Structure 1
């Protein structure tokens, strides 16, 4: 197996691993905040923010191993990350509406299809746009 294939396999495994951890962070944060605030919208928002920050840090440091040279570049990178995640959030919502309302698909099968699409898009945005290797 070539070095490039091994590196990509390692990267995908780490991406999936930290994706699962991000989901765990989201759920734990949601339930902790919900217990304190009793407001599911507030709890969802805080959990989403914490999960995004966790995902950014773990993707940057462990998955794509990207070093950033300045605070300006770090902020640009983080904004790219937030923007891409906001885009895939809309893909998620619009995909669910399209599949359920217009194609009469079930909610669970629609969520599975849309989530697979979102995971692939998030990986591609991270790999090719946010944390791309510099030349």
Structure 2
């Protein structure tokens, strides 16, 4: 059992912190739409930003255990992280818009659908581009 945990430590950590990132994203989204009354696309952008900030810290520290040190190296890593997250964020916004405005799916349902796509994309980006060893 211990060998399996060590073998899949990174994936398990990503699923755990990815789950928490998704919770941050969804909670901020619903606060923005249901409490503050913001438009669903504005709320989606705000929740994306909150989730990206949370995800960078957790991914860097606990998931991929980045060894990058120094201001310029960390800024390069952060810029790459945010750049990749912008790609998945654009996809998130597009899926939300198509789901809600074109197809007519309720925004709350569309939000959950987008999160599945985004989590998978973000893992691929993080593993292959941002935090590669």
TM exceeds 0.5? yes
Matched-pair contact (CA < 8 Å) for 2:99–2:110: no
Unaligned runs of 5+ in 1: none
Q: RMSD across aligned C-alpha pairs, in angstroms?
A: 3.5
For residues 1-135 of structure 1, the aligned pairs below 5 Å read: 7=6, 9-26=8-25, 27=27, 31=31, 38=36, 40=38, 45-95=45-95, 101=102, 108=109, 112=113, 114-133=114-133
In 1, Cα distance between the equivalents of 2:58 and 2:79? 16
Which structure is higher in RCO with an 8 Å CA cutoff and minimum separation 6?
2
* Cα displacement (A) at 1:120: 1.6
The structure with the larger Rg is: 1
- Deviations along 1:97-127, one digit per CA (max 9) or x if unpaired, are 56784xx696648963x54332221101101
Matched-pair contact (CA < 8 Å) for 1:92–1:118: yes
Q: TM-score, normalised by structure 1?
A: 0.69
Q: TM-score, normalised by structure 2?
A: 0.70
Matched-pair contact (CA < 8 Å) for 2:60–2:66: yes
Cα distance, 1:97–1:40 mapped onto 2, change above 3 Å:
closer
- Report the 3-state secondary structure (helix = DSSP H, G, I; strand = E; otherwise coil) of the residue aligned with 1:48: helix
Cα distance, 1:8–1:106 mapped onto 2, change above 3 Å:
farther
Matched-pair contact (CA < 8 Å) for 2:28–2:46: no
